[in-house]
Amino acid sequence: MTRDSLTTYLKLCTEFYDLDKPHDEQGQEFQFYARYCKQACGPILEPMCGSGRFLIPLLQAGFEIEGFDASVHMLDALRYKYERLYGASAKPPVSHAFVQDFSSEKCYELIFIPFGSFGLIIDRLDALKSLEVLYRHLMSGGILVLEIETLASYSLAASPWRYGVHTRADGAQIVLNAHVSYDESAQLYEAACCYELVVDGSVQQRETEFFKQHLYRFDEMDELLAHFPFSRVKKYQNFEKGEAQDKGSPLLIYECIK
């Protein structure tokens, strides 16, 4: 069965994302994953790699890494950045796939999914299927590193409206207006987003997206991971690898060894 194409991370969203979250090789998040890459003695996979915020600098650093993503727009942005670095005929080691459906004959020494992206797989059965896919593509002794956002990452603000604007190199603006909410029973953070391309004060393009992210209970991922025979699972609450004890931690990082 082939999955429908992604209805989020469209063109304007991708442009906004890249301006909002530039590459940051000195940042603690990047350094955290780069350390795992240094320790890996074989191929590395970054599912949900997006426009290559992690993947491109890791390729530049010489790591044997490849990635995939379900958004053609995020992948186009990644390819564009890669071609600017390595020339128009250079092809980055990435493909279009959903985690749930990904299949390769290759196995990896390290698989990592940063930035809470795994929560974008909002259905429990899909999440289990995705974990099965990730487990299957790990070498024996290989490591899966998974970062998730928890219920504690959502705080009720005075207003449900969010506004953001970024200016492109050509002077055009990408404007985001979003209405955010939290569905407690479904544990879903939801945002109805409207992205607009504004040139000389007039709206040239408009895209709407309905963003949903599953926020995890403190022990929920432990329950999902227990379906798979990992030889060891460690759970951290920050990028300094502090052992996860604080049930109010907004993020959790799992290090799972096959």
Residues near ligand SAM (CB under 6 A): 6, 9, 21, 48-50, 53-54, 69-71, 74, 98-100, 114-115, 117, 120-121
Count of beta carbons in the 10 Å neighbourhood of residue 102: 17
- Least separation in angstroms between CB 84 and ligand SAM: 18
- Quick one: 1 or 158, whose CB is closer to ligand SAM? 1
- Quick one: 41 or 61, whose CB is closer to ligand SAM? 61
- Quick one: 120 or 193, whose CB is closer to ligand SAM? 120
Q: Which tokens belong to 59?
A: 């390729």
- Least separation in angstroms between CB 202 and ligand SAM: 29
Q: Which residue is nearest to ligand SAM (CB)?
A: 50
- Least separation in angstroms between CB 229 and ligand SAM: 24
- Least separation in angstroms between CB 73 and ligand SAM: 8
Half-sphere exposure of 73 (CA within 13 A, CB side): 15
- Quick one: 21 or 247, whose CB is closer to ligand SAM? 21
Strand partners, 130: none
Count of beta carbons in the 10 Å neighbourhood of residue 239: 17
Q: Which residues contact 55 (CB under 8 A, 6 or more apart)?
A: 46, 49, 65, 67, 78, 92, 94
Residue by residue, what is the 3-state secondary structure of 43-61? Answer: CEEEECCCCCCCHHHHHHC
Q: Is 188 left (phi over 0), alpha (psi -120 to 50) or beta?
A: beta
- Quick one: 129 or 234, whose CB is closer to ligand SAM? 129
- Least separation in angstroms between CB 9 and ligand SAM: 4
Q: Which tokens belong to 57?
A: 């600098």
